[in-house]
Amino acid sequence: MKIRSTTVLAVKHNGKVAIGADGQATMGNTVAKSNVKKIRKLQEGKVVTGFAGSTADAFTLLERFDEKLNAYGGNMKRAAIELAKDWRMDRYLRKLESMLIVADATDILILSGTGDVLEPDHHIAAIGSGSMYAQAAAQAMIKHASHLDAKSIVEESLKIAADICIYTNSNLIIEEV
């Protein structure tokens, strides 16, 4: 049975970066857990990550990413590129089914198993089953409610995704960098 889950959203707005995720994990058409913590702080809180996909696979990738951060002096972009290279080239890592969003105070990146390191347009990154709902909501809020801060935009956008996507719930964890 394939485990499906989640919605992770990162937004950079008015000089702040926030990243959040819902807490739902499903197996087939059943909610397996409703309070999974999919957001992790690294580098003493200077880098925040979120994951979608297999939890065990994501933890493997997060460990590798943390190692890369340490190896490259906390340089998030360099660590992301090096992890993506390993992920694409290593036979074991290639089989991992997960995606990551990584963020620091200045940048947001999406990392995938195909070797992609994407710097998203409009300072919004979203992954997971409800990602398009959350991303669309965040874009609308930035455009029409620019007085909101990044954390509020992430929170409201994830709530909208939870109302639409059956694989997303409203048990949210949101962190700012």
3-state helix, strand, coil in the chain (%, to 5): 40, 30, 30
- Establish whether 6 is a catalytic residue: yes
**3-state secondary structure (DSSP) of residue 172:** coil
Cβ-count burial 9-20 (b if 16+ within 10 Å, e if not): bbbbbeeebbbb
What is the H or E stretch that residue 47 is in? strand 47-53
- Distance between CA atoms of 30 and 70, rounded to whole angstroms? 38
Residue whose C-alpha is closest to residue 112's, from 101, 99, 102, 131:
99
Q: Which residues are catalytic?
A: 6
